[in-house]
Amino acid sequence: MRRFVRRIGDIGKVIAAAVSTSANETITGAWTFSTAPSIANPDITGTAPATPVAGRLYKDTLIGMWVNFNGTTNAISDDVNATSITDNGTGDYTVNIETDFANATYCALAIGTTALSFRVATFAVGSVRVQFFNEAGTATDSSAETCVLAVGDM
Amino acid sequence: MKICRVFVCTDGSIRIMHPNMRRWNPWECSEGEFCRKLIDASMTKDPTLAGLPYYDVDASSIPSDRSKRHAWRWADNPGVYVDETVPDPPHPKQDQLDRIERAQTVEEIKSILKEMVK
């Protein structure tokens, strides 16, 4: 019985080794995990088809850049993939991106807690320019919590 | 010392690049060196900055009052300053505001207000 248990343990180690892949191994087929697997940095390589499958990740549906910055001091509070902010004028900012998007047809959104509306003035693979306006349509500085995010293929 | 880069546009207005200081590791290089390296890399990402003259300045020298941001200009001395001769930008609804000022009767004001809420 003890030998049997040890054997079962060995089999478990083999399975664990097979599932714990190194960077270049590929798992194919549908796998079901009894507990949610923890995956540190998966590479998502597939692009979304014309009819995406619900709940599936595609590389062109991932957020490529987001930043939370102060619209007055232009200091970045938190970010992913933003290297700097260019203050172009009142309510007019360019977020410069570290790892470029694959093209300039990604989607970008911006929001602040004071300005009423925004527009994306320029899309470039390595930067995005956003402008904020008040109720009267006048350019206005955004708030201390100004957020810009961009989604698309990188 | 945190450094920003001031780009001078052809119309005299300025654009100021602020580096992401969250990325600075004091064990790797000085604050100034970090800022210059990051800004050098960043400015290639924005094609609209190409060819514009630029100057690196101490971030603390940039005015904190942004109420006249449209009038910020560059001079070698003192650097970024407020040019009081630059006019304020026109209010986008200035024409309607002027008409309200000129209105003589309630009917005229009503007419203008109706246009504004359309």
Domain boundaries, chain A: 60-151
Minimal CA separation from B5 to chain A, in Å: 9
- Using a pLDDT cut of 70, give the percent of chain A over it: 84
Band (A12; pLDDT cuts 50, 70, 90): low
Chain A residues lying within 8 Å of B46, measured CB to CB: 86, 94, 96, 124, 126-127, 129
A97 and B45: CB-CB below 8 Å?
yes
Q: What is the pLDDT of residues B9-68, one digit of tens each?
A: 999 999 999 999 999 999 999 999 999 999 999 999 999 999 999 999 999 999 999 999
Residue A85 has its nearest CB partner, among B18, B89, B93, at B18
Q: What is the pLDDT of residues B54-85, one digit of tens each?
A: 999 999 999 999 999 999 999 999 999 999 99
Q: Considering the entire predicted model, what is its pTM?
A: 0.82
Domain boundaries, chain B: 3-82, 89-118
SS3 string, chain A, reads: CHHHHHHHHHHHHHHHHHHCCCCCCCCCCCCCCCCCCCCCCCCCCCCCCCCCCCCCCCHHHCEEEEEEECCCCCCEEEEECEEEEEEEECCEEEEEECCCCCCCCCEEEEECCCCCEEEEEEEECCEEEEEEECCCCCECCCCCCEEEEEECCC
Average pLDDT over residues A79-108: 97
Chain B residues lying within 8 Å of A143, measured CB to CB: none
